Chains A and B, each alone.
Chain A
Amino acid sequence: MIVAQRKPFAEIAQSVSGFNRVLVAGCGTCVAVCLIGGEKEAGILASQLDMGAQIKGDECTFAVACVERQCDREFLDELAPQVAEHEAVLSLACGAGISFLAERFSDTPVLAGVNTSFIGINDDVGVWGERCRSCRDCLLSLTGGICPQALCPKGMLNGPCGGASEGKCEADPLKDCAWALIWERLENTGRLSNLEPIVAARDHADNLPGAQVHPAYERRYSAHE
């Protein structure tokens, strides 16, 4: 899932200033699960903005809407009537959702209410952790399912740096060294030989805006080829 953090209230209030009718648009999937941008959080933020406006004597109004996924055209279309009635949309979706909403309603200013943090997992109640950098060249089969790109701040592919101490990370001693975890996992499963070959430098040649068409749909979308 995508994990996000809400932007500081002052930054959000600044971004919506100058608009009299703002639609706060939640997203019902990832950001709802991480308790940042779902329908409930959109409602709370709208109330906060409303109170802030009242205190300042502004005549702004803040309405709330939420769709299943802002990263999907089908769901975005549901917002069209409400977007048409507002001067701006404050989106609480991840960056992909905000972008797609801005693309779908390109005549309306779209503002970001969250900072997208990472692709991660729900580790415990209220706790999320990064697990993937979407690098397009997955090494998890080799590394025991522990990603050195996501969990090592240096992204070391051939083993730990020299800063690891007591299994903790040089950059953040409160966090485990990714390579200590990788070693332990592979040792416990008898796969340390995975680490013998030198892992070559990554190929960043495809580091262009990602786009893909499922093979079953290639004929329909042949323009993409």
Chain B
Amino acid sequence: MSSFGDALAAGEFVITVELDPPAGPDLAPLIDLASELNGQVDAFVISDNRLASARLSPVLAGQRLSQEAGAEVIVTLTCRDRNRLALTSEMLAAAAAGLDNLLLVSGDFVNLGDQPGAKPVYDLDSVQALVLAGGLNGAARFLLGSGLAPEASPQPPQVMKFNKKLRAGAGFFMTKPLSGLAGLEAFVEAAGPLEAKLIAGVEVTDEAGPEAAATLAKEVKASGLAGGAHLSWPGAPQRLPELLALLQA
């Protein structure tokens, strides 16, 4: 199992960070950042055309980060940009690159991104993508995760979908960035005893700054509601070391 999977299974409070591949071919800054952060985080979540804006392939970025920074990587794959053939190709590419942690999500709608006229694919939804990836296990050894939106409303259909993802083989869930603990608390209460680990999304915003994010991450850990925190700093990932320093303070 991956070291990230081991940490989850051991019940450690994991720290992951979100890294966007570049919108160009130069991966050196991302590799440098991962090298700097390595050892302080349990895994790097490589986003997949985040907010529907085109970027370098997450599988290739993950492979380079793994090889050149020694990073533990979680590869995100969205259903927005690929049909089941293309998803299978990318899953196999990840397995061949030794990247066993997959985060399978539906993906932000194309009209939020830089090419709003692109055809939205969604041949599969995230539940079906988990089923697809599970079918490859045997040949591959994936640890599968998916997204979770504790603050989305109405909540009951979100809980229903969460349970489908569990049945489809999701072993961990990355939440969308939280605004506080209330939504997560309500979700956990509604979902009942959890059979998978939730990793709470903690995002640095311009308004609140890194101190508020660090405080929220600490509150998440103290609450016991989630098995980890997933940190992101949109627009300024190079400042993530500041956030990690605040967390350790």
Contact = CB atoms under 8 A, between A and B. Distances in A.
Interface in A148-182: 153-167, 170-172, 179-180, 182
B158 A170 contact: no
A198 interface: yes
Nearest to A158: B127
Given A165-B152, A183-B154, A201-B123, A159 B161 contact: yes
Nearest to B150: A162
Contacts of A170: 108-109, 112
B157 A167 contact: no
A172 to B, nearest CB: 8
Interface string B158-174: 10110010011000000
B161 A163 contact: no
Contacts of B128: 157-158, 198-201
Contacts of A172: 111
Interface string B81-103: 00010000000000000000000
A198 B162 CA distance: 11
Contact of B106 (A156, A192, A198): A156
Given A154-B109, A157-B128, A180 B120 contact: no
B153 A166 contact: yes
B149 interface: yes
Chain A interface category by residue count = 20 to 34
A161 B168 CA distance: 16
B185 interface: no
Interface residues of B, number: 35
B124 A159 contact: no
Contacts of A53: none
Nearest to A166: B153
B131 interface: yes
A195 interface: yes
Given A158-B127, A159-B127, A159-B161, A198 B156 contact: no
B153 A159 contact: no
B64 interface: no
B158 A171 contact: no
Contact of B157 (A155, A160, A201): A160
A153 B109 contact: yes
A196 B227 CA distance: 27
Contacts of B126: 158, 161
B218 interface: no
B83 to A, nearest CB: 9
Contacts of A171: 109, 111-112
A145 to B, nearest CB: 16
A164 B127 contact: no
Contacts of A199: 127-128
Contact of B158 (A155, A160, A187, A196): A160
Nearest to B148: A162
A158 B125 contact: yes
Contacts of B105: 162
Contacts of A198: 127-128, 131, 164, 167-168
A200 B124 CA distance: 9
A12 B89 CA distance: 44
B127 A154 contact: no
Interface string B109-137: 10110000000101111111001100000
A150 B35 CA distance: 46
B84 A154 contact: no
Contacts of A196: 160
Contacts of B164: 158-159, 198
Nearest to B131: A198
Given A159-B125, A200-B131, 7 more contacts: A154-B120, A159-B161, A159-B164, A160-B161, A162-B148, A183-B157, A201-B84
Instruction: State the 10 A-B residue pairs at the shortest beta-carbon distance, nearest first.
Output: A162-B149, A159-B161, A171-B109, A158-B127, A183-B157, A201-B128, A161-B106, A156-B125, A154-B122, A164-B152
15 contacts: A154-B109, A156-B122, A158-B125, A159-B160, A159-B161, A159-B164, A161-B106, A162-B148, A162-B158, A180-B157, A183-B154, A198-B128, A201-B84, A202-B123, A204-B123
